[in-house]
Amino acid sequence: MFKKTAITIAILILYTGCVPNDLAITPSDTKTKKDKNSWADSTNVDDTQDNDNSIDEKSSEAPIKRIPFPQSEYHYLAKKGKATIKGKVYLVDAYEQAILGKNTRLYLNPITSYSKQWYKQSYLSRKKMQKADKRLFNYLKFTSSNKDGLFAFYGVPSGSYYLVGTVPCKEQCGYDEAVSIRVATEVTVRDNEVVERDLSKKID
């Protein structure tokens, strides 16, 4: 049984450049699961849209218009690579305790003029923006954290990215209802490099 599973994993790596996230974090686990470390498709579109349930946005303001999609910038971005980005996603409360982002989705967004506008206006300034151009989702890469908040991206092309995720939180963050708190940071990888980068944020 173990030999059969190992062969299955080897084939998966050969043809997709990805491995299941849970297997990568805990190599001793031989249970194969649906691959969550993949490029975006039409089912992922809502992941990067402004979320009215997130406390990170001032939804009372009119959405900010996005700049035209810079197809020429994205044209030169590679979609295949050999780098790895891994870490843990969590919030830090007022008592310096970690609130883990358990079983939550994360994504890599290549840094371009288009994503820089999103980072400045939506993430840093917490303003609502118009929906992203659907062509963007051809360049995003998704994965999921496990029950310990650990995540990993495999087969990442060399370049610079915004690493983005959300952490659900309720009483620990001082809210009566559950909210999704978005967390983002910049990360750069080269060739076969393995980068360890936690995705964290202190609660305001």
List the pLDDT tens digit at each of the 204 positions of the chain: 544 444 444 444 443 344 333 333 333 332 333 344 554 443 443 445 444 344 454 456 789 999 999 999 999 999 899 999 999 999 999 889 999 999 999 999 999 999 999 999 999 999 999 999 999 999 999 999 999 999 999 999 999 999 999 999 888 787 888 889 999 999 999 999 999 999 999 987
Structural domain includes residue 26 = no
pLDDT at position 176, please? 82
Residue in this structure with the two tokens 């998966």, named with its chain if needed: 12
Structural domain includes residue 21 = no
Spatial CB neighbours of 136, under 8 Å, sequence gap ≥ 6: 48, 69, 74, 109, 114
Structural domain includes residue 130 = yes
Structural domain includes residue 11 = no
Structural domain includes residue 20 = no
Structural domain includes residue 24 = no
Structural domain includes residue 157 = yes
Query: What's the number of domains the chain is made of?
Result: 1
Spatial CB neighbours of 73, under 8 Å, sequence gap ≥ 6: 112, 113, 114
CATH of the domain at 164: 2.60.40.1120
Structural domain includes residue 48 = yes
The whole domain housing 104 covers 36-202
Spatial CB neighbours of 47, under 8 Å, sequence gap ≥ 6: 40, 105, 107, 140, 142
pTM: 0.74
Torsion angle in degrees (nearest 10) through CA of 10, 108, 77, 57:
160
